[in-house]
A and B are shown apart, each in its own frame.
Chain A
Amino acid sequence: MRKILFIGHYYHKSTGSSAFFQDLLRSEYELTLFSLDPEGDSEWNVLAELCLDDYDCVLLWQIDYLASYFLRRGVRTIVCPMYDASGILDRAHWQAMAGALIICFSLELHYKVQSAGVSSLYIRYFPEKPAFLAQSRSNDDHMAGITSSLDENKDSKGLRVFFWERLPDTALNLSSVIKILSGLPVSHLHVHQAADPGRKPSLMPAHDQYLISSSTWFESKDDYLRAIQDSDIYIAPRFSEGIGMGFLEAMNLGCCVVANDMTTHNEYISNWKNGILVDFVSPGEAVISATAESVRSMGHQAQTDAEAWRNSWISFYSEIALKAIESYVCCSTISPAVPSGLPATVSFLKALDELTNLRSAHQNWKAYWSHLASILVSNGNGKHSETLVMPRINRLVMQGKITEAYEELCEVIRMYPGERTIYSLFADHLQDRVSRNCADGIDSFQLQNTK
């Protein structure tokens, strides 16, 4: 059995959000799990001591900025980036992963990666319906059962709302939610006051329109899910999601999800068909106005759609993912990014920094190339650039073949494996470390290179 080193964020150990993908991989591969706290130091040392030769492949769950580290060492690398963590990163971030298999669970993220000129695979996940629902009803009368359960449990006159306030110090807080709900016939708002680490929950307001209750803890996940199931509306607690397990589970339970109009909410929710998209970033005076009947109808549609998406994951997307992984693990070859015999990279790092400044400083290409050539030579970047490449680039520039010259230069830069890009992707404390090493004239990667 082939082996995959599965590296995830330590936070996912408690949320279990990557468990479904680990289970999928276990059907075909032997998995070794490794959790990393990007802000901590200790795991880095453990990671550096791992023998990468023991694995056929490394899979990075969310901590995509590490891809270059492994690709550079010739390790096949699968990356599962998440939109909420990496959606705002620029092209350089993705370009540093060329050679990896990138699997996107968000269409927008897939689009961003593709737009950077890097290949990625788009797959769509949907969680299974909660076990307590599956156990209590047969498949045949599933929908009828759910509907009747909703009818029994939910107040037929007013709407029940569930809101987990995770970001109380943002516009997606309790007061915004109360304002946005003011056009709906709400009878009960339940607020789960378990804010994300480092944030304080809002004070519970007095409200005379409807009942507001709160919780800070559920005994079990089933209790939490039952509370959602008893609701007609689920307010998605974050501005955007990587996959969106929380709101997808709510769709599974027949809730009409009210969510910020961003990825991945807007990749599953068809506005006013199976949920409602609102602008929580700048909500202004936005108010949702609808009847209880239409809200419940959207909830039923969400549940129908959820079943179709779940079936698609089971019988289609999971197979697509496994096939792509098999093809990548078994067939692709990753060339070590550092050709042997190249000089240390520190000086080139500096040269590249200067290159960026040069580009903005020079108005014409010719002066730029000329200056660049002198820098590369004076930085002693080895025989390759000094004796072969730069004269050729200069000749091309003199001949007016700017495009060709640029491509040649890119070729040179590619010989050095995107150090600057890698550098920019490191967490702050690592950047500091690299900078210090650069200043000391030490190859920054020598410290982490286990070989």
Chain B
Amino acid sequence: MSISKTVQESRQSRKAPSKIYICDPVCIQGFGHNLAAVNRYSRYFDSLGIASKAFVSRLLEGEKASILPECIAFSYAHYYGRTVPASNSRGDALSARILDASSSVVDEVIQGVAYDELRRIIEDVSDPESTGIYFPSIDYYSFSALVNLLEKNPFRVYPSFFIRWIGVMENCCYAQNGDDALELLYKRLARLVSGRSTIHIRHSAESAPYAAKLSHLLDSEVITTPTLVLEEIVPLSHHASFVICFPGSARIDKGYDRIAAVLQALESRHPELDYLVYLQMLPRHELTHHYNVARELMKNPRIRCYPSHVSQHELTQYISASSLIVTPYCNRIYKMRSSAIMAEGACFGRQIVASAGCGFSEELSSLGLGICRDSDEGIADAIYDYSCLSLSEMRSRVKRGRDNYYEYASMSYVDFFGVVQ
């Protein structure tokens, strides 16, 4: 990895921000990328003595507004596939919905809106020298807005930008080739940064493999910042059956189609194991194509199936009711990606059996959060091995893993924001 000298110098020329704007237009998901995550960052910055203000999607405005802290502002009107009835800064009425994601008009509209919003947020900054704009899971259009804005250069001084890449939200409309469009933006940014020492941008990625890839593409240092979790551990308790959960939205990329094979291997290799499984129903678009997988799986009387959409609270509940988390993710799709479930497991105190070869597999093993296996049989054997552990041994492993993860995560963020402790 070669990082240009200019970038390194610029990184060191500013102190850690005393105020951070958390910008997350995509925090409208049921879990993971949601308001809870935004709040979590806000609380984390509080703990570091950094004031924060969050700019979130207008889709969340309304009923949820009353329960949110004042530091949250509803700013973003764009989110691919959905837009909010609103007007941009010039007062132009925007469509209430995006009808056709393949339309280049839509792409232009979102680009324009994202640009206006970023500009408005920066205008709100009173002290750019000591303010950071943080994108905890940057999306394509926010990144595009940033590059466009830096090119047009409407401000004399800019706040620092902290970009966290998660490999999920970096999609653009179908009208463009996403990879090409993104790569072009990387190059434009790299050119801008190398030419202007007044631009302060730091990058991080959710997983180490993705960080290494981005570092090359951006010609910049990219560190790893794992998913931040601050919740309390949920004590493990004894159950009559060994309770396993396959959490996260049931999707094929998350290994839903492997679950039957894993359980079959578990039953044939370890018939004495009395187990119970919690999982979620496939979401609508996946059920349409994988109904037969779901039907065969649901014939197993040991499986209890939550709806495809559960709240963060319900997710926590069913992880808590389990003794072990299993994530047989497809490692081709997850090659670069991390897993929010890994973080949840570490946080709530559950060991994880995961697929080897995912973007988070190495972290998971080295931090003692669980073990990774290649095959369905390997995963089945690992589940059985965990079922043989005493409760005290399991608790001890869980605590060790959790401590390791916390230290690793907090050091990463301290490094990312340049906080001197």
Could you tell me which A residues sit within 8 Å of B by CB distance? 107-108, 110-111, 114-115, 117, 119, 121-122, 124, 266-270, 304-306, 308-309, 312, 316-317, 320, 324, 403-404, 407
Shortest CB-to-CB span from B396 to chain A, Å, is 29
Q: Given known contacts A122-B281, A404-B100, is B301 in contact with A111 (CB within 8 Å)? A: no
- Known contacts A111-B287, A114-B287, A122-B281; A308 and B298 CB within 8 A of each other: no
Q: Is the pair A266, B295 in contact by a Cβ cutoff of 8 Å?
A: yes
Within 8 Å by CB of B306, from A108, A320, A403, A404, lies: A320
A interface majority secondary structure: helix
Docked Cα-Cα span, A267 to B298, in Å, equals: 7
Complex alpha-carbon distance, A114 and B288, angstroms: 8
Contacts of B306 in A (CB 8 A): 320
How far is B180's CA from A50's CA once the two chains are assembled, in angstroms?
62
Docked CA distance A79–B166 (Å): 40
Residue among A115, A122, A266, A267 with max Cβ neighbours from chain B (10 Å): A122
- Whether the pair B299, A267 counts as a contact (CB closer than 8 A) is yes
Contact assessment for A404 and B99 in the assembled complex, using a CB-CB cutoff below 8 Å: yes
- A308 with B299: CB separation less than 8 A: no
Which residues from B are CB-within-8-Å of A107? Answer: 291, 294-295, 298
B64: CB under 8 A from chain A? Answer: no
Q: How far is the CA of A110 from the CA of B291 in the complex (A)?
A: 10
B301 proximity list for chain A (CB < 8 A):
304-306, 308-309, 312
Q: Are B284 and A312 in contact (CB under 8 A)?
A: no
Cβ of B238 within 8 Å of any chain A Cβ, yes or no, is no
> Across the interface, which residues of B come within 8 angstroms of A268, CB to CB?
299
The closest CB in chain A to the CB of B240 belongs to: A311
Q: Which of B99, B284, B298 has the most CB of A within 10 A?
A: B284
- Give bound CA distance, A119 to B284, whole Å: 8
**What are the residues of chain A within 8 A of B335 when measuring CB–CB?**
none
Q: Complex Cα distance A449/B37, Å?
A: 48
Interface string of B39-72 (1 = CB under 8 A from A): 0000000000000000000000000000000000
B6 to chain A, nearest CB (A): 47
Q: Decide: B307 and A312 in contact? CB cutoff 8 A.
A: no
> Can you give 20 contacting A-B residue pairs, CB < 8 Å?
A111-B291, A111-B294, A114-B284, A115-B288, A117-B284, A119-B284, A122-B305, A122-B307, A124-B298, A124-B305, A267-B298, A268-B299, A269-B299, A270-B299, A304-B301, A306-B301, A309-B301, A312-B304, A403-B99, A404-B99
Q: Which residues of A contact B291 (CB under 8 A)?
A: 107-108, 111
Q: B373 — which chain A residues lie within 8 A by C-beta? A: none
Question: Per-position contact with A for B69-104: 1 when CB-CB < 8 Å, else 0?
Answer: 000000000000000000000000000010110000
Quote the shortest CB–CB distance from A59 to chain B (angstroms).
19
Q: Which B residues lie at the A interface, using CB under 8 A?
A: 97, 99-100, 281, 284, 287-288, 291, 294-295, 298-299, 301-302, 304-307
Min CB–CB distance B368 → chain A (angstroms): 32
Q: Smallest Cβ distance from A79 to chain B, in angstroms? A: 16
Q: Do A316 and B304 touch across chains, with their CB atoms under 8 A apart?
A: yes
When C-beta atoms are compared, the residue in chain A nearest to B307 turns out to be: A121
CA distance A347 to B97 in the complex (A): 30
Contacting residue for A317 out of B287, B288, B304, CB 8 A: B304
Question: In the complex the two chains form, what is the Cα distance from A296 to B417 in whole Å?
Answer: 67
A121, B306: Cα distance in complex, Å: 9
Which partner residue on chain B sits nearest A119 by CB separation?
A: B284
Q: Which residues of B contact A115 (CB under 8 A)?
A: 284, 287-288
* 6 closest residue pairs by CB, A with B: A308-B301, A305-B301, A114-B284, A316-B304, A270-B299, A403-B100
What CA separation (Å) do A190 and B292 show in the bound complex? 35
In the complex, what residues of A have CB within 8 A of residue B302's CB? 308
Chain A residue numbers with a CB within 8 Å of B284 are 114-115, 117, 119
Q: How far, in angstroms, from A115 to B306 measured CA to CA in the complex?
A: 18
Nearest-CB distance from A419 to chain B (Å)? Answer: 24
Docked complex Cα distance between A124 and B295 (Å): 12
Inter-chain contacts of B288 with A (CB < 8 A): 111, 114-115
Max chain B C-beta neighbours (<10 A), residue from A268, A309, A316, A403:
A316
A434 to B159, CA, bound (A): 67
Bound: A407/B97 CA distance, A:
10
| Cα(A114)–Cα(B285), bound, Å | 8
Chain B residue at smallest Cβ distance from A405: B99
Distance to closest chain A CB from B144 (angstroms): 24
In the docked arrangement, what's the CA distance between A414 and B48, Å? 52
- Report chain A residues within 8 Å CB of B100: 403-404
Known: A111-B291, A124-B305, A403-B100. 10 other contacts (CB 8 A): A107-B291, A107-B295, A110-B281, A114-B284, A119-B284, A267-B298, A305-B301, A306-B301, A312-B304, A407-B99
Closest beta carbon of chain B to A378's beta carbon, Å:
28
Contacts of A312 in B (CB 8 A): 301, 304
Query: Nearest B residue to A407 by beta-carbon distance?
Result: B99
Q: Who on chain A is nearest to B296 by CB?
A: A270
Report the Cα distance A312→B99, complex, angstroms: 42
Q: Please, which residues of chain B bring their CB within 8 A of the CB of A316?
A: 304
Q: Nearest Cβ in chain B — how far from A397, in angstroms?
A: 14
How many Å lie between the Cα of A305 and that of B284 in the bound state? 28
**Cα of A329 to Cα of B287 in the assembled complex, Å:** 27
Give min CB distance, A106 to chain B, whole Å. 10
In angstroms, Cα B284 to Cα A403, docked, is 23
A123 to B299, CA, bound (A): 13
A267 touching B295, Cβ below 8 Å: yes
* A317 contact set on B, CB distance < 8 A: 304
With CB as the reference atom, state the residue of chain B lying closest to A404: B99
Q: How far is the CA of A237 from the CA of B386 in the complex (A)?
A: 45
Residues from chain B with Cβ under 8 Å of A403 in the complex: 99-100
A304 to B305, CA, bound (A): 19
Given the complex of chains A and B, what is the CA–CA distance between A41 and B294 in angstroms? 42
Cα–Cα distance between A164 and B294 once the two chains are bound (Å) = 31
Closest B-chain residue to A122, C-beta based? Answer: B281
Set of chain A residues within 8 Å of B99, measured between Cβ atoms: 403-404, 407
Smallest Cβ distance from A357 to chain B, in angstroms? Answer: 26
Residues of B within 8 Å of A114, CB to CB, are 284, 287-288
Chain A's nearest CB lies how many Å from the CB of B388? 22
- A269–B294 Cα distance when bound, in Å, is 14
What is the minimal beta-carbon distance from A110 to any residue of chain B, in angstroms? 8
Query: Which chain A residue lies CB-closest to B97?
Result: A407
Q: B408 → chain A, closest Cβ, in Å?
A: 35
Contact A320 to B298, CB < 8 A, known contacts A114-B288, A122-B281, A404-B100: no
| Chain B residues near A305 (CB-CB < 8 A) | 301
**Which residue on B lies nearest to A408, using beta carbons?**
B99
Chain A residues contacting B294 (CB-CB under 8 Å) are: 107, 111
